[in-house]
A and B are shown apart, each in its own frame.
Chain A
């Protein structure tokens, strides 16, 4: 092992410096440190602080990707400084200098330290992050299906580092958005069969104008998370449970949009945008639909004038779903249980023959889970649902 280890080399770090109390504008500092390439960016920052400038602000503790303290952006990508190797960071750099900045979407306390209390922890507190158990409590222990608990392990892997919050693109324009970390935490309880308030939790997160329907599916949080939590996938599961299992009709049109889309494809095969827009607001006769239409009138007029959209396309139904597409909808929608394959839990088949440990996880509605889920969690480093 020791002989394959590469010798120490120079790495240049470009560190974003900012002290809000100083009244000075932020600036960049460069320091060249000397470490073996497999060492972490955090060790690099600590060496720069030890050797060159004791005033560099960085928060850290375990140095082993467990405590979640050292969230930063390295070359523009959010993550843990202790979980990023120097050689990988150098490779990803634009100009041979490793660029280190504080995380985004949160105020800066000093240099690389952001105010987690002001944003991240407030949002976590927002989703009631503890079990609301049944009343009265069962006399003995709760007996829960094993697979139901396996189902929430992915969201339990969160170490609260804030990397997903840092780069959430919805939060960038809507700071009130509950955000990926807190919504993933919410799924941890919505998916827990011992929790007695699943409907109320879902209703609350669906009705909040900055809740589960504010997520754009941008995958930023999936890329950011160093622990494979895939917060966006947990948000999609919240929506699935709210919209399909509990039929929660929210004021944000989340329910309407999902159901309008599915209906649209079942009927037309291809998306019919005009119907989708109207149905997403609760149908053509709904006042909200009319309001959106009125607001969009100048755009619609222009699109029609430019022949971008023709009235035939906008109002007619040029497509019809083929019969077998309709049959697929009937077959799958008619199942007693919803089939979900979570690759975070199941992992990938090991060989091409496809014989290896196939386990389709069936997760039924409302936390009443069924069927086998035999393999161990955490098989894949990146979460995928």
Chain B
């Protein structure tokens, strides 16, 4: 399927391994990425805090660009960042709710010939995996099941709250999708207190101790629940959980050593990509538990390219 692809800012800044891993995984899932390279930052809630209309106009512009790509054959818009999803969903809710407000935003967009039409479908990569590709299909693509890998999900606030805006329903229990994906990839889901809590990143410059206490606490809870690693669909959570982990360790006063994977990296590992291709070497916390595990399995699994056998299930 073809998607209008919004990569966000951080995946092209401090988490380049995220952008890279999406590019590596997409062809394996038969996703064609039409990158929205003229679109700009969603505001991550901060621009909305400054001026709601400004955030809504910038996001309306991105939606309008995506709708141009959709008119040219893309099925929907896809993002790879919980925070982008949340900020965009918030703007979309207001734009879709009120015709006069939408008209005003469109008036600002008009000089460039852009218009946002109510009702764009904008999905995070996680939602796309479950709702568009499907868990069965995903399982069938697994070349290297994540057997014995204990993975703690970490969603990020913006993709699970508020439930009505985010579209969490009986039909689409989106607040459980990470667990479903981990299972579909053959891994073991670790339940721990912090899976749906806040990583603390938004206040890192304003209330540094409180921010690092949050990430440190969740990482510690996951370690206590015996997780090998965490997986997150949010690069901002990744910054506080991985990049800042050495500082979080100091604040909570315990070693953590908890690797944190981006969702496309976890999918890529199961689909047979090498840790290096997925940028796992670029993390601040070395994903030793994960890499050791994949190396072991890779060593024990016949290479499908070389001798034509199917590797799926062989790692069990």
Contact = CB atoms under 8 A, between A and B. Distances in A.
Interface of A: 169-170, 172-174, 177, 209-210, 213-220, 222-223, 236, 239-240, 243-244, 252-254, 256-259, 261-262, 265, 269-273, 277, 280-281, 292, 295-296, 298-299, 302-303, 306-309, 313, 321-322, 324-325, 327-329, 331-333, 335, 338-341, 343, 346-349, 352-356, 358-360, 382, 384-385
B177 to A, nearest CB: 17
A258 B49 contact: yes
Contacts, number: 238
B14 A309 contact: yes
Label chain B's interface by main secondary structure: helix
B206 A253 contact: yes
Interface string B186-210: 0000000000011011110111111
A272 B41 CA distance: 10
B217 interface: yes
Interface string B32-73: 000000101101111111111110111001000000000000
A299 B102 contact: no
A325 B47 contact: no
B93 A384 contact: yes
Given A329-B54, A331-B108, 8 more contacts: A217-B198, A256-B205, A257-B46, A265-B58, A295-B247, A308-B16, A332-B108, A358-B103
A254 B61 CA distance: 27
A306 to B, nearest CB: 5
B50 A222 contact: no
A239 B10 CA distance: 24
Contacts of B100: 354, 358-360
A323 B203 CA distance: 31
A258 B53 contact: no
Contacts of B98: 341, 343, 346, 348-349, 358, 360
Contacts of B58: 265, 325, 328
A177 B200 CA distance: 14
B28 interface: no
Contacts of A262: 46-47, 50-51, 54
Interface of B: 9-10, 12-17, 38, 40-41, 43-54, 56-58, 61, 86, 90, 93-94, 97-104, 108-109, 111-112, 114, 118, 157-158, 161-165, 197-198, 200-203, 205-211, 213-214, 217, 243-244, 246-247, 281-284
Contact of B157 (A177, A219, A322): A219
A271 B246 CA distance: 24
Contact of A302 (B13, B17, B208, B284): B284
A324 B52 contact: no
A322 B38 contact: yes
A328 B61 contact: yes
Contact of A333 (B44, B48, B54): B54
A384 B165 CA distance: 9
B210 A174 contact: yes
B114 to A, nearest CB: 8
Contacts of B10: 271, 273
Point out which of B12, B161, B200, B210 has the most chain A C-beta atoms below 10 A from its C-beta: B210
A228 to B, nearest CB: 11
A349 B47 CA distance: 25
Nearest to B166: A219
A332 B54 contact: yes
A265 B218 CA distance: 31
A243 B217 CA distance: 31
